[in-house]
Structure 1
Amino acid sequence: MADPQRGAGEAGGRHEQNAPDLRENCVEYSIFLVDANASNDPLKQLSRLDDLRKTALQLANSLTADYIWQKGLFTLDVVTEQGNSFLRGITDYGDSIEDEWLIVYILREFSKVQPTAWIRVYDADGEFLLIEAANVLPKWLSPETDQNRVWINNGRLRIIPHTTEDGTKTRLLALSDALRVIKSTSDSLLHSEFIEAEAFYRLEKYPGHIHKSIHHSLVTIPRRLVHVLRQTPKAVAPAVESFYLRDALDLNTLLSSKKSHTFPPVDLVTVSVKFTRVLFAQLRSQRFEPPAPWAGIIQRVKGVEHTHLEMGMKLTCGFEIMLNNVDKADSREARAASIIVQDLEEDGDSVLPTDEQIRSWRDAGRDDDESWMDINYEDFERELSGRQGGTESQPNPSFGDATTQADLRKIVSRFEAFLNDENAGLDGAEIDEMDIDDDDDDGSEGMESDEDDEDEDKAVSFDEAEFSRMMREMMGLAPIELDVHDVPSKSPAARENTKAIGRDEEPDGDDLRKLTAELEAELNEHGALKLDQPRDRALTQKGKGKGSGPESSNDDEEADDEVDIDYNLAKNLLESFKGQGGMPGPAGNILGMMGLQLPRDEDDDAGEGKKKR
């Protein structure tokens, strides 16, 4: 049976192609049994692989018993390709990148209890573990050479080194060759603590993050839906996805007055429903006009009851869409919910839970705090600097969780390192060999353009220090104070060339200064160069409190200056990224070069039910 998560024309040699046909938002993982003492009998090998499969699934179930997968589950099957029998699984993690890292955590924990298991994991981007560790990788390890080289064994990240036998640096390592190296000389594989720490950085929050990612919220829904959710609580995932990805046909189903709905808005009950944070954010952030049967009910309530009813309306509509398309669904939970609905039609409303029964359920009235969805810029500024705000008697809550704080500081530190790179010259960013286009299509035309470019370069004078200063001002960084004696002197030829250019091109210098002034004026108009806003606010707040000695005042001002640098840098980066509107842009490109990816942001004024802090 063909796997729907694979490309239609895929052949068997998938490991040789670094997953080119793997569908986006899918992660694939393979487990190979490498044991020198194992029997060569194929039947015994298959039996042992099946035992390993059961052990891995039991471990996954024990770790994720109460977890709600966004789309696909952790799964393993015994397969045979090119004479190799192994376990393979593919999971569609949808919009929840955390599901992908949870799978990596499960695989790493499994490798600790099965030392003879060698595990590969990759997605549509290839070896994404190496993408996380891009800053500490050796130069020879690139997307053109990493196929079948990265393995997880006994809880560690192991890398098959490049040898002279591999031929050219861009030669792909075949899976059979990789397994041969592991079987014969497994001790030769590289194990770097630096690479491993970066690659497994996101795993530090597990297993505690599995429970922290769950969010309970009170919603008002029909009693019939309460019964279905009680039987299949994890069906909330395909229901939210159905609502989140609704199309015109789905809306016609909801708005049609002729079609009878499975869950009409009658006999409504307020009950706590378990989501993941991703599912809850998807449902909460959606703007949706209530269908006619719900409109009158929602308009009659206000405040918290309105929020509960609106969330319940969205969830109910999601279940309506999901059940209407259940024949095309590939979700086990969606099919299970459909069976529950069919049984309910046969048994009648007598099986529905009463109010007393609902109140007796565990977490029936639980309503978790939603402040993790909000951003307070004062906390944002404080967390960037690593300082604790507030006083001992009145502590301030932290901005986000520990992972958010670490990621935020990593953005700032990497960008500062990017701008402060003393090894970078006029040639700009270094380009790997794999990125060089060696096509000869343009031929002589390219040679002519190169000659023209050389002539133009001779007539251009570029002030690197001035450009760096302007760049740092735009991004909110403090200027670098350079000692005159530290600046390398130009050669006599360069000085003479510069003087000649200065005499001949004075009008162009005036135009450049005029253009720079206009650019600076425009940036000031939009507030890009206003670096004193956080400090002004901090000084104003300090002015309202009790006075302190001159020494403490000076210390506070120095600390505020440090905060302003990081605050403005991060704030300008985030605003620039948001201004791209989901399209490619400078902020996204620069962060991508540093191995950082930011999620999309909703509109500033989206969601009238958001809590304000």
Structure 2
Amino acid sequence: MATVRDVLENVREDDFIEYFLFSLDPAVDFQELLAKVSELAEQQSQGYIWQKDDFKLIHRNASDFPPINDNQENLPPHLYGVTHYGENIEDEWFVVYLLIYLTKNVPGLVARVVDSDGEFILIEAADHLPSWANPDICEKRVYIFRGDVHVVPPSKDKDDSNITVAEALGKIRTSSQTTRASDSIQVSIDRRVKGYPDKIQELIHQTNAFVPAGVAALLRAKPSLIAPAVVAFCHRDPIDVRACRAMRYFPPETRVMCQVKMTRCLYAMLLHHKYQPDRRTGWHLPPQNSPDYTAHLIGVKLACGFEILVSQCKSKDGADDLENDKGWHRYRQSLLDKGYFKDLLEGCKEHQRLEKDAKEYYRNHAMYSQPTTGQAVLDLLNSLEVDVEGMRRDGGSLPPPDDDSWMEITSDELDKILTERYGSRPNPNSSVNDISAHLQTFLNHVSGLDGVEHPKLNKDGVPLRPKRGVKKNKNADTSTSNATCDDDNNRISMDQEAFSCGVNNILDFSVPEDSWDLESEESGMSSYEDEIEMDLSRKKSGSWAIIMNFGFEVSPIGKACRRTALASVAHIQLIHATAGMSRQQ
């Protein structure tokens, strides 16, 4: 039977990557190993700005996490870490790079890494997997050893589809040549992490911002604070908006021009989040055609982000620091949904014990908490001496901001990216009609439990139609046929030609470009509109933009919504085109 830790470990956000570092040396000192690994990882990640969590490891013994039930494995002692990457998928692959580097430079170190999709490394190399590989069998079989990906194959002599981590480590120790994945898999993973650590600077965007002097001092002392500030602003809710109207800690009167650097993903998020500051707070923006407009607007958003962080930190009276932690409240709600509290009355002794255990686990293993970040920001701000006049003098000789044309790509550039990522098409002259023909052929295939069964080919290369089963009661009398007439009338038939025609209509459907999706930022109802926008964003997280895995935005929400509406029109066309899917008369 599962214990409470089963629930505590499995309730988490989807944007995480989890990593385990084992040692093949049974006499290893894990405290020394932790110090060595942490030092190497810090050297490789110099200058890297993490979206949420950085690369962090702790030592876990088997006694810390005992088996939940008789069928669950007791993991060997290891180093453990979890990183939430938010909107920036590049963080996930940078962790993979670090694990590859560490296993190359630390003898006997074996790494296992998973995310919400499981063994995601194999997803990247899906075109090169062995025939036996499927998500169920591959679980706990994928590791990184000496910088290479290892996939432990199942034994041919016995059924070991469910392998333990200890057994997999034993096979890697004794027969690493057998467990090493194919060269094509190695190339796929190496291509994904290629360029690090030099690539870190390519992902950085520098721009100028007109920010309060306190914000400039914080970013000068600790540049990595830019990430939690941007995330806090982009994920703000109506309560956070009210804190932005007060601006208690970062008033606009002390604004100075300074240079800030952030990842391209953070810059795209910050630039495309609509926000109209309240003039009563003291924000006065230049006209939109002014060359300083972008710097002023970015400065307002950054100031609001830092204000939100500080407003969420714990109060001075020693109250529980989790009460203002939104992450904790989401985590607690997930525990409620999982039945962790067993419908106990809130406030009873058993309920208090369970909540205490949950808080302890969250503090020790969440590794990310905005109130903790907010308190660190406030403590650092109080320790800094802010020279406003000196900052204003320095602001007059700043270099120009980086070009942000990388946020817009042409169709040719997109084709180039897709070709580099997935390779060129086998037949560049293929047309929509070819797609329709292939689809119509696909519809004629038989579907089984494991998916579509592709027909066998005869000696001339022509697909053979699969044999159908002999119909029962084929020679039944007429009265029986009449009795089943009503059942025949209820059968559904599909007009394949009409369906193919509908697909053609969708493929031919083009979305007109327009410029009427730009909304004015001069509305007097901006504060109310912002609160409504925040309420909607809570209902559907991540709808603000489509961000590709290399970290920049493709389409803002306005145009994306309208294109979705236009695509719905195409869907209606498909419904009309498939009118042949009707009851036989």
Same fold, judged at TM 0.5 (above): yes
Contact 1:223 1:353 in 2 (8 A): no
Alignment pair present for 1:244 and 2:244 = no
Once the two structures are superposed, what CA deviation does each residue of 1:8-40 show, in whole Å capped at 9, x if it has no partner? 94349x9xxxx85553111011111114xx53x
Alignment pair present for 1:71 and 2:102 = no
Once the two structures are superposed, what CA deviation does each residue of 1:399-425 show, in whole Å capped at 9, x if it has no partner? xxxx56634867999999987599956
**Secondary structure class of the residue paired with 1:71:** coil
Alignment pair present for 1:119 and 2:137 = no
Q: Distance in 1 between matches of 2:443 and 2:77?
A: 51
Aligned to 1:550: none
Contact 2:89 2:550 in 1 (8 A): no
Distance 1:468 1:201, change over 3 A: farther
Contact 1:227 1:352 in 2 (8 A): no
Contact 1:298 1:306 in 2 (8 A): yes
2:120 alignment partner AA = F
Q: Which runs of 5+ in 2 are unaligned?
A: 63-73, 315-323, 326-368, 453-483, 514-538, 561-585
Distance 1:288 1:458, change over 3 A: closer
Alignment pair present for 1:601 and 2:538 = no
Alignment pair present for 1:341 and 2:381 = yes
Aligned to 1:109: 101
Alignment pair present for 1:367 and 2:401 = yes
Match of 1:10 among 5, 15, 33: 5
Shift of residue 202, structure 1, vs aligned partner: 1.6
**Secondary structure class of the residue paired with 2:253:** coil
Contact 1:115 1:153 in 2 (8 A): no
Alignment pair present for 1:475 and 2:507 = yes
Alignment pair present for 1:177 and 2:167 = yes
Aligned to 1:218: 208
Q: Distance in 1 between matches of 2:297 and 2:312?
A: 23
Shift of residue 160, structure 1, vs aligned partner: 0.5
Distance 1:410 1:248, change over 3 A: farther
Contact 2:150 2:180 in 1 (8 A): yes
Shift of residue 308, structure 1, vs aligned partner: 1.1
**Secondary structure class of the residue paired with 2:48:** coil
Contact 2:265 2:553 in 1 (8 A): no
Q: Distance in 1 between matches of 2:448 and 2:16?
A: 31
Once the two structures are superposed, what CA deviation does each residue of 1:74-118 show, in whole Å capped at 9, x if it has no partner? 011111123611111111111111000000011111111124111
Distance 1:208 1:455, change over 3 A: farther
Aligned to 2:127: 135
Between 277-286 and 413-422, report the one with greater CA deviation.
413-422
Match of 1:381 among 409, 412, 417: 412
**Secondary structure class of the residue paired with 1:336:** helix
Aligned to 1:281: 268
Instruction: Report the TM-score when normalising by structure 1.
Output: 0.61
Match of 2:39 among 46, 55, 58: 58
Q: Distance in 1 between matches of 2:426 and 2:389?
A: 54
Once the two structures are superposed, what CA deviation does each residue of 1:153-193 show, in whole Å capped at 9, x if it has no partner? 1111111101245527xx42222222232233333314211
Alignment pair present for 1:355 and 2:345 = no
Alignment pair present for 1:264 and 2:251 = yes
Contact 2:265 2:552 in 1 (8 A): no
Once the two structures are superposed, what CA deviation does each residue of 1:508-536 show, in whole Å capped at 9, x if it has no partner? xxxxxxxxxxxxxxxxxx548x9xx9xxx
Aligned to 2:86: 94
Between 20-29 and 84-93, report the one with greater CA deviation.
20-29
Query: How do 1:442-457 residues align onto structure 2 when only pairs under 5 Å count?
Result: none
Q: Distance in 2 between matches of 1:359 and 1:132?
A: 47
Q: Distance in 2 between matches of 1:58 and 1:290?
A: 43
Distance 1:190 1:418, change over 3 A: farther
Q: Distance in 2 between matches of 1:188 and 1:454?
A: 57
Distance 1:136 1:51, change over 3 A: same
Contact 2:227 2:266 in 1 (8 A): yes
**Secondary structure class of the residue paired with 2:100:** helix
Match of 1:432 among 450, 467, 482: 450
Query: How do 1:188-587 residues align onto structure 2 when only pairs under 5 Å count?
Result: 188-256=178-246, 261-293=248-280, 297-298=284-285, 302-327=289-314, 328=324, 330=369, 334-344=374-384, 353-357=390-394, 364-375=398-409, 379-381=410-412, 384=415, 406-407=420-421, 424=442, 426-427=444-445, 432=450, 460=493, 471=503, 474-475=506-507, 527=510
**Secondary structure class of the residue paired with 1:314:** helix
Q: Distance in 1 between matches of 2:311 and 2:424?
A: 45
Q: Distance in 2 between matches of 1:596 and 1:350?
A: 38
Specify which structure has the bigger relative contact order, considering alpha-carbon pairs within 8 angstroms and separated by 6 or more residues: 2
Once the two structures are superposed, what CA deviation does each residue of 1:549-581 show, in whole Å capped at 9, x if it has no partner? xxxxxxxxxxxxxxxxxxxxxxxxxxxxxxxx9
**Secondary structure class of the residue paired with 2:133:** coil
Distance 1:458 1:300, change over 3 A: closer
Distance 1:85 1:325, change over 3 A: same
Once the two structures are superposed, what CA deviation does each residue of 1:490-520 show, in whole Å capped at 9, x if it has no partner? xxxxxxxxxxxxxxxxxxxxxxxxxxxxxxx
Shift of residue 352, structure 1, vs aligned partner: 6.8
1:193 alignment partner AA = D
Q: Distance in 1 between matches of 2:152 and 2:486?
A: 43
Contact 1:10 1:21 in 2 (8 A): no
Aligned to 1:548: none
Shift of residue 136, structure 1, vs aligned partner: 2.5
Q: Distance in 1 between matches of 2:195 and 2:31?
A: 30
Distance 1:196 1:597, change over 3 A: farther
Distance 1:596 1:8, change over 3 A: farther
Q: Distance in 1 between matches of 2:108 and 2:146?
A: 8
Q: Which runs of 5+ in 1 are unaligned?
A: 1-6, 40-44, 387-402, 435-450, 477-525, 534-580, 589-594, 607-613
Alignment pair present for 1:23 and 2:13 = yes
Greater fraction helix:
1
Match of 1:32 among 22, 44, 50: 22
Once the two structures are superposed, what CA deviation does each residue of 1:314-365 show, in whole Å capped at 9, x if it has no partner? 1101111111112356256544321122235xx6x558744345568xxx43
Contact 2:110 2:144 in 1 (8 A): yes
Distance 1:412 1:217, change over 3 A: farther
Distance 1:598 1:457, change over 3 A: farther
Instruction: Report the TM-score when normalising by structure 2.
Output: 0.63
Q: Distance in 1 between matches of 2:485 and 2:394?
A: 82
Match of 1:167 among 159, 168, 176: 159
